Amino acid sequence: MGPFMERMCDSHGAFAVGRCVGLIEVDEDTGRVEIIACVWFEGFNGANINMHVAAVPGSRWMTREFLWYVFHYPFMECRVKRITGLVPESNYAARRFDEHIGFKLEATLKDAAPDGDLRVYTMFREDCRWLKPPRGCAPRKAN
């Protein structure tokens, strides 16, 4: 998943350490497996974890089941209080996505992105609407 994230995020070496939740698609005819989405978690400190998201444009990856597990992992398994996402101010699609799924803007870091400001988005466990498992999904027991 690391090479997929680096390719999708145009990053070099940033996704070497962390944990991820990936979504794959399997071609039934050829058996070919393709990664269509990945959520990368890093920087865990007990209270917070950083989250990065990448998906193949046009793929249908944002299902309730996938979003449930994406948030179940940090909030229920890692037991963090909050998730942080850093988004360049110029990345309107990522900002719209974060706000759509429930992240709130916490701060703006002046000139912290290569092309301008960096926005700090957060989601707290008590504000997450994705923690109820969809029908057919059984949560794993937290460690």
Spell out the domain ranges in the chain. 1-80, 82-129
The beta strands (E) that lie in 64-143 are given as 82-88, 104-113, 116-124
Span 20-33, mean pLDDT?
84
Span 21-44, mean pLDDT?
85
- This prediction's pTM: 0.81
Over residues 46-71, the pLDDT tens digits come to 999 999 888 877 777 778 888 898 99
Q: What does the DSSP 8-state code read for residue 77?
A: I
